[in-house]
Structure 1
Amino acid sequence: MRRFAETEDLSAVVRDALGAGCRIAGVDRLRGGSKKGVYRVRLDGGGKASVIVYRWAEDENFWPGAAVPDPANPFSSASGLEHFLTAQRTLDGLGVRVPRVLLADDSRLRFAADVAVVEDIEGGTLEALLETDPGRAAATLDDLARTLDLMARHQAPHYGKVGLLEKGGVSRGSSCEQLVLDRALRHLEEAAGRDTRIKAARSRLAERLQELAALVTPRNEYGLIHGELGPDHVLVNRDGRAVLIDIEDLMYFDVEWEHVFLSLRFHERYETLARTGLDPQRLGLYALAMRLSLVAGPLCLLDGDFPDREAMRGIAEHNLREALALLP
């Protein structure tokens, strides 16, 4: 039985962040997180209506049988306070809008989890704004495009997690494209073990991945990417600026990987975010690899007790059909 945080669990850390005079009016666990708990803590008085608390605890992680994170693997899970703080500092230093950190605590004195208290961006998600106020959302999309361009132009001679490279570490693999190919082949096997349609097309999908990878030429500069930047991972502040969240996987990598994901999530609105000069060979390989990832990942998540099961099934089904459609 999972135990999530309640008011009494979060009271002390919120008071440490805001002062002893703040009073908690209520706590809401927000939906969608699969690796950490995200809580909106409503306040009574003290100048703030609410704050957000991130809680990295075993009970908050819905990935069954998750492997021990490998910092040298760019695709390994980067969930945790240290990754969050490194990403937040890096992006903030570039002028990218991210939630401000009010308190970070890895002491484990209050409960057996790292926690962070951050500002609550009250404008909601870009995903919601695109539905309710497309005109206002257009300005935020323009700001997001500027943000993405800024990140892409901030380059490094090596790929990998930001924290790893800051410490002088070296990522696994010989290239981004080889890492993506190897990962896609693993995802193909995982998906084939869970769905008969993928199993029937396994050989053709593997051959197609190899064909696409063979067309990619070497590269030695890599841009800064979020890694999973859908409209649900962009908040909108009062000024209409794009605020990036779920930033722990920040890394230097081929920006084509970011743009394939953006195109899948933003659909016709991706035109605003599109960037010139992207490598079409990388885009081709990464498009198929991304689809297979979005089949295997949700199906794996459904092996456990992730609560929003219909949404995960829908993601897997949609991307399964799209992956098969990419076969020649």
Structure 2
Amino acid sequence: MRAFTDPSELRRLVREGLGPGCRVTGVERLRGGSKKGVYRLTLAGMGAPPTVIAYSWAPQENYWPGVPTPHPSGLAPFLSAHHTLQAAGVRTPHVLYASEPDDLALVEDIPGDTLETTFTTDPSRAARALSKLAVALDHMAAHTSPADHTSEDVTLTRALNDLAEAATRDPRINAATPALTNRLHELHAALTPRPTHSLVHGELGPDHILLTPDAHPVLIDIESLTHADPEQEHAYLRLRFGPHYAPLSRLLNPTRLALHTLALHLSLIAGPLRLLDGDFPHRDAMRGIAEHNTREALRLVEM
């Protein structure tokens, strides 16, 4: 049985960050990602907010130890991403306190549903949020950085590595490896380097967007933030938003989008199957992600 962050550590974090007058009266571990623990803490005391969220990047919260992943994790990349998004005018939960030696942070609790849930429960509110999210994405696209690497080269290398790993785990991918390899190289060869990259979240699904009472989107799980091709972001957006993607659509390079889309499918085959080697609890969900992306990757080379 995996042992998670000790509640005493979270109580200490609250005392250090919010003062000795704040007491933790409840601890709820939320279902979250695979690299950090997310806890809702109920508080009492003069001036204490009703609840806060605690993030813990303790080793026991990470289901990927010893396994290389394409994105960084930890308090340092979280704080860097938070500051960058603030500078770009994009809303994230306010950081209340960070304890660097412990890889712990307290952040504002945004009450209410995710955008994903609101698509079903309140479509008109979701539509307002999508319009505001489109504006936030434009802010991120305008936050450019000189290209210190060639995004398409990095994408190709990762995709080939994911393909090789997926081929050892799924016979369908193994059989299609020559076709998938050729397609990746074909798309890559058709591109020329860009001088700048845009700010991208990296994993921006509707489950990673909380909504304020006025339907303003608040981005979470931001540690993967980086500068890269906007097509990388939109490949993920198209996959995760599905029929709700249209308000977010922008004019993109179709070949770059095709490369990032195929690379994304391969990542979402290899990654979930790799995660299932350990004790990740939501196993059916991971199998479903791997199966869906297997079918999509194969479809792209069967056309």
TM-score normalised per structure 1 = 0.88
Describe how 1:91-240 pairs up with structure 2 within 5 A. 91-107=85-101, 113-159=102-148, 175-240=150-215
Q: Distance in 2 between matches of 1:39 and 1:270?
A: 30
* Identity in percent: 55
Equivalent residue, structure 1, for 2:37:
37
Q: Corresponding residue for 2:272?
A: 298
Query: Which residue is equivalent to 2:62?
Result: 61
C-alpha distance after superposition, 1:138-175 (max 9, x if no partner): 1111111100000001111125xxxxxxxxxxx5xxx1
Letter of the 2:235 counterpart? V
Assess if the C-alpha contact under 8 Å between 1:225 and 1:255 holds in 2: yes
Deviation for aligned residue 1:64: 4.6
Deviations 1:83-106 (A, max 9, x none): 111111111122110110110002
Which structure is higher in helix share? 2
1:283-322 alignment, distance < 5 Å: 283-322=257-296
How many aligned positions are there? Answer: 301
Q: CA deviation at 1:47?
A: 4.5
Q: CA deviation at 1:204?
A: 1.0
The answer to whether the 8 A contact 1:7-1:26 is kept is: no
Partners in 2 of 1:197 and 1:135 — Cα distance?
41
Report the secondary structure of 2:33's partner residue: coil
The 3-state SS of whatever aligns with 1:116 is strand
1:25 aligns with 2:19: no
Question: Is this contact kept in 2: 1:64–1:300, CA < 8 A?
Answer: no
Find 1:81's aligned residue among 58, 75, 80: 75
Separation of aligned partners in 1, 2:89 and 2:151: 26
Write the deviation string for residues 64-89 of structure 1: whole angstroms up to 9, x where unpaired.
Answer: 5224xxxxxxx743101111111111
Q: Is the 8 A contact 2:43 2:51 kept in 1?
A: yes
Give, as a single letter, the amino acid of the residue that structure 1 aligns with 2:299.
A
Deviations 1:158-196 (A, max 9, x none): 25xxxxxxxxxxx5xxx1111111111110110010111
CA distance in 2, matches of 1:65, 1:79: 13
Matching of residue 262 in structure 1 with residue 237 in structure 2: yes
Quote how far apart the aligned CAs of 1:18 are: 2.1
